[in-house]
Structure 1
Amino acid sequence: MSTTARDTGLEATRRLGVEQTGIEIIDEADRTAQPRDLFWPWFAANVSVFGISYGSFVLGFGISFWQAVVVTVVGVVVSFALCGVIAIAGKRGSAPTMVLSRAAFGVNGQKVPGVVSWLVSIGWETFLAILAVLATATIFDQLGWAAGTTTKVIATLVVAALIVSASVAGYHIIMRMQSVLTWVTGVATIVYVALTIDEVHWSSVSAIPNGNAQQMIGALVMVMTGFGLGWINIAADWSRYQRRTSSGAAIVGWNTFGGALAPVLLVLFGLLLAGSSPDLSAGIVDDPIGTLGTLLPTWFLVPFLLAAILALVSGAVLGIYSSGLTLLSLGVKIPRPAAALVDGVILTLGTIYVVFFSDNFLGPFQSFLITLGVPLAAWAGVMMADIALRHRDYDEEALFDARGRYGSFDWTSIATMVGASVLGWGLVVNSFAADASWNNWQGFLLEPLGLGTYVDDPAGPYWDGPWAYANLGVLLAAALSFVVTLLARRATVARQEAV
């Protein structure tokens, strides 16, 4: 970028508050963030009453309260720590995550994980927007207000407008917004806990029997993918404004602390609520936010709704902002605000379709996202190993030049990601087999390895066996790609850094 163009962009940012920087390298003068600044976006995006619903999901694997506590703490903390490792790349290269991924996959080879990342980001943020709209209708119904089509239309427009406008505005506005939302949603969540603490019955919670190791592993994978691993493909987007002198350990620490603090506390409280009432736990599975709202006095339903929506919007904003950057990294030649707007329009259309026209979409939609989680885990393994092998900052110009030191395609990384993904799919199962039968090919390695049996029951197909729902494929994809990359690309990385 020329100096004139950069100056023009900075002037526009100051005048309109809209970030003009796209996937280009952040100017040194703009790299003023400190590791502790990472706390705000990560905390705000994850301090949501929706996190309480995970208590029901975890106990649904058939494990006891104390087993669930271990799974929750380990799964949440480790998964956000992995995000912190990816965030180190942002400091080293001052570019978005998927641009930095070019060092491992090649400038053009990066489009393979880039497409996966873009689909995952768009999908999850659309899911958050859908939850926000449905929550509005549910709470309005509990209040006795109109909860029909008009309410859903208004809720869709408001939610979409909040998400799109913030993501179009960009980094600086989002950071300020997240620091405010942190307090609003945090206070509302504390009040929710205070108002519902009397719903906890320790005698019922402590009586839940222990599950086996396979059930704990299944719950652990679910927690990791639902929290930190769901953000891992955008982790460096928020650290690219860090000073070069920032400590890598501090970046990992603040990333982990900001992301994990609220989910750990919320899920633990959710375990107490779900373990106290089987009926509540069952209701949460079908309608998380609406069911949680049934525990509240009428006077707090509106603040609860606002806090729930703002928390979901906060998470969606981070995703749409980053999905716009990923779109640019794939070669789309439009300004960053326009890229965020394009993804925002897709999010809005997806939300409208699900809320107003689809009777059976959420199951297949979630199955699709879970399927993409396996290659995302494989990409993360490659990326983390690449970061571990490097001892110098990235050659920033080479990240945009296929003839540079990173090359056009790194076939070792691409083959590793593809191979680990195929093996990973063989060890995960489609949790929505009846709604998404086109995904029932997954788990093809379970029967050959004696880990599970597919039962084609007329009432609905399912998997039987202790390891069937452990979803080992996610862990395998990440671990295998990490080890293979660490061994197979050591010499390649050394040559790149010697240039």
Structure 2
Amino acid sequence: MSAETIASGHAETARFDAHGIEPIPEHGRDATPLEQFWIWAGANIAPINWVLGALGVTLGLTVVETLIVVAAGNLIGCAAFGLFNLMGQRTGVNQMLLGRATFGRHGAAVPGVIQGLLATGWVGVNTWVVLDLVMGILARLGVHGGSGTKYLIGGLIMAAQLGLALLGFYAIRTFEKYTVPLTVVVMAVMTVLALARAHPHWSTATHPLGDGGKVTAVTQLLTAIGVGWGISWLPYSGDYSRFVRRGTGERTVFLATAAGVYLPSVWLAALGAVLAGSGGGSDPADLVARTFGVMAIPVLLLIMHGPIATNILNLYSCSLAVLTVGVRAARWKVTLFAGAIASAVLVVFIRSDSFAGAFDNWMSSILVWISPWAAVVAVDFFVRHRGRPDVAALYREDSGEPAFNRPALVSLGLGIVAAWSWQYGLVPVMRGPLARLLAHTDFSWLAGIVVAGGLYCALGLRATERRRLVSEEL
């Protein structure tokens, strides 16, 4: 198969992806903005989004207030996501490896390890959450299965998502390209049926809140499914946009990737809010069974598609993060190892639902590290390097850059502290002093961005200027 054939887009799109963390060569960069859209839409057509939409009503907001928070907040978070996708497109390099330009060749291992561990954890959490939901819906439809059924369904889901992640980007692209449009059609039909049966109380809260309580609820929803939702995907962005054809308009890439997260997230969260506002409660199994009745079977298939479409991204990005740290192995071998770890985590979760629930609550605190990390990376890429870092230097030991960029690492550390201080999470230890002091509000993402980004502007750019002056004197 010639490079020209591949580049023209006529080759089999599900071919094996042998790429690791080296820049994607020209003949391998054949992805289109529409394919990027399907990748991110697939990852976000997931039941967790309508559960989080129902959360707004459960917290005491009206349906209208929930819709405003979700729609407006996602504009900010998804715009940041679209901007980060430009990094991968410009350089052909995965997101965590780009961190070498920011944190230093060895300093980049810090966020790389964090991302690798969290991505693996998310595979177990996502599969467990959806598996529990599937079993709940089957039970309400009169189909009762024991632990054997649970392990069987979990094993099938895990095998499917691991197989696709092992094949790599091209298989992921093909899977999303051909399955997501079908899930969109199913979801559209289900939305029409749901709205026909729903009679939401648009402007009446399930339990009225005072002004302070309403502010708390708004900030919690902004973090869960508003601004924080788009930000939570930032560490994954360049891993997929690095395959976009060089020369593709950046505006198109920005809009396609941002819309891929925005549209399904807002759509499903709005549906969840409307159903919850109709008195359907917030339990996802109840929402599906009561709203759709026998038509819950197509929704059940949609639900099972959700973790696969999301976890193939987690497994693939996990392997790239591990390779960035310095592990020398083929990407597919690292992916296989990550899948084995995630499978073990899933077994532990199935055997201990209480532990799984506690772990899920911990995972919801990821913005504590992602928001300051994103601020430092954005300042470094778009300001310090003017959007065009030296890609070749990312792979050289003697690049002239420090192995550990201390200003970046210090800014990241202090940004994490700032984010934690203004977080009001589900786990008591993740309720910072500033959040408790300021009416139990959660602006962790904003505190992390402002502190880390501001510090790096002051420290990092100044250090770069000093090194430049010293170099000129020599």
TM-score exceeds 0.5: yes
Amino acid at match of 1:362: A
Unpaired runs of 5+ residues, structure 2, are 1-10
In the TM superposition, what is the alpha-carbon distance from 1:242 to its structure 2 partner?
Answer: 2.0
Query: Structure 1's 473 and 186: CA in aligned 2 closer, same or farther, altered over 3 A?
Result: same
Partner of 2:362: 368
Separation in 2, partners of 1:15, 1:291:
37
What pairs with 1:336-355 in structure 2 (closer than 5 Å)?
336-355=331-350
The reply to whether residue 310 of structure 1 matches residue 305 of structure 2 is yes
Separation in 1, partners of 2:389, 2:90:
6
Partner of 2:5: none
What pairs with 1:362-401 in structure 2 (closer than 5 Å)?
362-389=356-383, 390-391=385-386, 393-401=388-396
Query: Structure 1's 275 and 324: CA in aligned 2 closer, same or farther, altered over 3 A?
Result: same
Contact 2:77/2:228 (<8 A) preserved: no
Partner of 2:235: 233
SS for the counterpart of 2:202 is helix
In the TM superposition, what is the alpha-carbon distance from 1:189 to its structure 2 partner?
Answer: 1.0
**Runs of 4+ that moved beyond 4 A:** 13-16, 491-496
Separation in 2, partners of 1:150, 1:276:
36
Q: 1:44 aligns with which of 21, 37, 42?
A: 42
Partner of 2:409: 414
Partner of 2:6: none
SS for the counterpart of 1:295 is helix
Contact 2:96/2:321 (<8 A) preserved: yes
Partner of 1:271: 273
SS for the counterpart of 1:374 is helix
In the TM superposition, what is the alpha-carbon distance from 1:58 to its structure 2 partner?
Answer: 1.8
Identity of aligned residues (%): 23
Contact 1:86/1:387 (<8 A) preserved: no
CA distances 1:267-305 after superposition (whole Å, capped 9, x unpaired): 11221111110xx324x2xxx24542332222x232221
| Comparing 377-386 and 413-422, the one that deviates more | 377-386
Contact 1:185/1:311 (<8 A) preserved: no
Separation in 2, partners of 1:416, 1:67:
35
What pairs with 1:179-328 in structure 2 (closer than 5 Å)?
179-202=177-200, 204-208=201-205, 212-224=214-226, 227-277=229-279, 280-282=280-282, 284=283, 288-289=284-285, 291-298=287-294, 300-328=295-323
Contact 2:74/2:227 (<8 A) preserved: no
Amino acid at match of 1:60: T
Contact 1:69/1:268 (<8 A) preserved: yes
TM-score when scaled to structure 1?
0.85
Query: Structure 1's 128 and 304: CA in aligned 2 closer, same or farther, altered over 3 A?
Result: same
Separation in 2, partners of 1:130, 1:290:
18
The reply to whether residue 478 of structure 1 matches residue 449 of structure 2 is yes
Q: 1:91 aligns with which of 69, 89, 92?
A: 89
Contact 1:181/1:314 (<8 A) preserved: no
Partner of 1:77: 75
- Count of equivalent residues: 453
SS for the counterpart of 2:354 is coil
What pairs with 1:435-450 in structure 2 (closer than 5 Å)?
440=429, 442-446=431-435, 450=437
CA distances 1:7-59 after superposition (whole Å, capped 9, x unpaired): xxxxxx98993211011111122223333332110111112344222221122
Separation in 2, partners of 1:264, 1:377:
21
Contact 2:381/2:389 (<8 A) preserved: no
Contact 2:120/2:338 (<8 A) preserved: yes
Separation in 1, partners of 2:251, 2:430:
41
Contact 1:200/1:273 (<8 A) preserved: yes
Query: Structure 1's 314 and 289: CA in aligned 2 closer, same or farther, altered over 3 A?
Result: farther
CA distances 1:353-412 after superposition (whole Å, capped 9, x unpaired): 111x21411332023213432012110111111222133533222112232144311000
Amino acid at match of 1:281: G
| Comparing 313-322 and 65-74, the one that deviates more | 65-74
Amino acid at match of 1:207: T
Query: Structure 1's 395 and 327: CA in aligned 2 closer, same or farther, altered over 3 A?
Result: same
Q: CA RMSD in A?
A: 2.4
In the TM superposition, what is the alpha-carbon distance from 1:163 to its structure 2 partner?
Answer: 0.8
Query: Structure 1's 145 and 37: CA in aligned 2 closer, same or farther, altered over 3 A?
Result: closer
SS for the counterpart of 2:277 is helix
Separation in 2, partners of 1:50, 1:181:
19
Partner of 1:150: 148
Q: 1:118 aligns with which of 112, 116, 119?
A: 116
In the TM superposition, what is the alpha-carbon distance from 1:446 to its structure 2 partner?
Answer: 4.5
